[in-house]
Structure 1
Amino acid sequence: MTEQEAVLWLEGELGVSRETMDALKTFVAFLKREGSSQNLISASTLDHIWARHIVDSAQLLQFLDHAPATTRWLDLGSGAGFPGLIIALLTDYNVTLVESRARRIDYLLRAVEMLDLTRRVHVAGVTLERLETAPYSVISARAFAPLPKLFDLAERFATNKTLWLLPKGRIADQEWQDAQGVWDGNFQVMKSITDQDAGILVGTLSGHRQIKAAAATQGQRP
C-alpha cells in the first residue's frame, strides 16, 4: 500500500472527514518533529507513516460492529500512539493509553493536548501492573508482549465480551496456537490490509485453563 493509497483508503473505506484528515496530518507532522529527538518509530518507516502506522492502526475499526460512543478502549504499550491515539482521532471512544517510559509519556500528553483530546483520552503513565483494574470494551496491543504474557497481564481488564485486537505480524497464527495450551478463547487471525503476510488476532478471551479447571473441580466437591 502506497501513501496515496493509504489516504484514499481512510477517506473511502472509513469515510474519514476532511477535519479529521487535517488532525491526522497535524499528528503526523508532530510525530516527525518529535522523532528527530527520540526513536518513536523505525527510521525505515518514516516515508511510509500513513500506510505502516496510520492505516495499520485504523484498520482495527473494521472489526467492531456498531460500537457505541461509550466504548472504553484500552491500548497497551502505546509508544508513539499506535493504535490508541489514531483510534481516538477517528472515533468518539474513551481511550486509555498505557505507557511507562517517561519520554513517551511526555510525548503522548503533549499530543493529546495538541489534538484537543483531553476529555476522552487518558494517558496512564504507569506499568500495566500498576494500572487500576476496570473493565474495558476493547483491548489493543501492538508489539507489547508475547501472547501468554499479554493475557497474564491484561486479563483483569477484560470481560468475556471484551474484544481483543492484537496485531501480531507474521507470527499471529503460531502465537495463538501456542497460547491455546494455557488460555481458552475464541480468536481468528485476520489479514492485515497493509501487509498480506501479517495477521491480526481478533476475538474474545474466556479464561485461563488451569484456573477454570480448578474452579470446576471445587464446584463438584460434595
Structure 2
Amino acid sequence: MDDSIVKNNLKKVFPNVSRETCIDLEKYIDLIMQENNVINLISRANINREYIVKRHIIDSMQIIDFIDFNQKKIIDLGSGSGLPGIILSIISKNNGSKIKTAMYEKSFHKANFLKQVSTNLNLNTEVLKENIFDHTDNDKAIITSRAFKPLPVVLELLNTNFKNFKNLIIFMGKTGNEILSETLKKWKLDYETKKSITNNDSFILNIKGIKKI
C-alpha cells in the first residue's frame, strides 16, 4: 500500500504527522471509496484520493489545536462517514492518547460503516445508532459538529442534554458570520474562531461556555 498521497498532502499542512497516522488514514480512505459504491458516504462526483485528503481529511484535522487529548471523551454529533470522529480517533490512537470517541449516527448503514472502520483500524470508539436529541451525557466531553445542524440547534441540544461539556468545536460555512451574529442575540458565548485552511469562506468556532440570554 502506498501512503504517499496522504503523506505528501498532509505534510504540507501538518509537518509533524506520524507515518502511522498516514497509513491509518490511507486505509480509512480505502474503506470510504469501497463502501461509497454501496451507500452515499461522501459526494460521488469527487471520489478520488487526493480530493478526499484535501477536502475531508485536512478539513477535519484542522481542529486538533482545540482538542485536549488528555480528556476522557470526544462526542461527535451526526458522524456520517466519520468526519471528524474517525480522524480524531486515528490521531489519538497514534499519539498514545486513551481518549474515546463516541460517534452518534442514526443511519443504520453509516453506523455499521463506522463500526467496520473502528474494528479494522483498532480504534477506541463507541458508535451509537441513536437520535442524539433523545440522549443525555453528563461527562465533561469535547463535542464536535461538522455538517450536522445549525449552531442554534446545537446550542439548544448542549444546553439541554450535554450541560457539562468541556468545549464545542463546530464547523461554520460561508453564512457562518451571519449565523453567529444572530445567535449572539440570544446566547452569551465564550468562544474563539479560527479561519478554515480549506475554504476561505469558512471558519471553525470553538465554544467553551454557553448561557441563554
Give TM class, smaller chain.
0.7 to 0.9
> Could you say which residue in structure 1 is the equivalent of 2:191?
187
Residue equivalent to 1:131? 135
Cα pair 1:189 1:199 within 8 Å, conserved: yes
- Post-superposition Cα deviations, 1:36-84, rounded to whole Å, max 9, x if no partner, equal 11110112342300011111001100234xx243341110000000001
Mapping for residues 85-104 of structure 1, pairs under 5 Å: 85-91=86-92, 92=97, 93-104=99-110
Provide the rounded CA distance (Å) in 2 between the counterparts of 1:194 and 1:95: 24
Out of 51, 60, 64, the residue aligned to residue 61 of structure 1 is 64
- Give 1:4 deviation, angstroms: 7.1
Contact 1:58–1:83 (Cα < 8 Å) also in 2: yes
Gaps of 5+ in 1: 210-222
Q: CA offset at residue 7 of structure 1?
A: 2.2
How far apart, CA to CA, are the structure 2 residues paired with 1:4 and 1:195?
21
**Counterpart secondary structure, 1:39:** coil
Q: Output aligned runs, 1:110-121, within 5 Å.
A: 110-117=116-123, 120-121=124-125
Instruction: Indicate how the Cα distance of structure 1 residues 11 and 198 shifts in structure 2: closer, same or farther if over 3 A, else same.
Output: closer
- The aligned residue for residue 200 of structure 1 is 204
Determine the structure 2 residue equivalent to 1:32. Answer: 33
TM-aligned CA deviation for residue 139 of structure 1: 0.8
Distance 1:194 1:5, change over 3 A: farther
Q: CA deviation at 1:5?
A: 5.9
Q: Decide whether the 8 Å contact of 1:75 with 1:83 is kept in 2.
A: yes
- Mapped to 1, the partners of 2:140 and 2:81 lie a distance apart of 21
Does structure 1 conserve the Cα–Cα contact (< 8 Å) formed by 2:11 and 2:17? no
Distance across 1 between alignment mates of 2:193 and 2:46? 24
- Structure 2: state its 5+ residue gaps: none
Aligned length in residues: 201
Contact (CA 8 Å) 1:185, 1:206: kept in 2 or not? Answer: yes
**What is the TM-score when the length of structure 1 is the normalising length?**
0.83
User: Max radius of gyration: which structure?
Assistant: 1
One-letter code aligned to 1:41: I
User: Within 1, Cα distance between the matches of 2:135 and 2:170?
Assistant: 20
Alpha-carbon contact 1:53-1:82 (below 8 Å) kept: yes
- Given the alignment of the two structures, is residue 157 of structure 1 paired with residue 162 of structure 2, yes or no? yes
Could you tell which deviates more after superposition, 96-105 or 38-47?
38-47
Q: 1:124 is matched by which residue type in structure 2?
A: L
Higher mean alpha-carbon deviation, 79-88 vs 197-206, is at 197-206
Q: Is residue 142 of structure 1 aligned with residue 181 of structure 2?
A: no
For 2:74 and 2:210, how far apart are their aligned partners in 1? 19
Mapped to 2, the partners of 1:158 and 1:49 lie a distance apart of 34
- Tell me by how many angstroms 1:10 deviates: 5.6
8 Å Cα contact 1:3/1:51 also seen in 2:
no
Matched, 1:80 2:81: yes
Q: For 2:185 and 2:210, how far apart are their aligned partners in 1? A: 13
Q: Is the 8 A contact 2:101 2:125 kept in 1?
A: yes
Q: CA RMSD in A?
A: 2.0
**Cα separation, 1, equivalents of 2:82 and 2:140:** 18
Distance 2:194 2:14 in 1: 22
Q: Deviations over 1:175-201 (max 9, x none)?
A: 111111221112233211111221111
Give TM-score scaled by structure 2 length: 0.86
Compared CA separation, residues 73 and 175, structure 1 to 2 (3 A): same
**What amino acid does structure 2 have at the position aligned with 1:70?**
Q
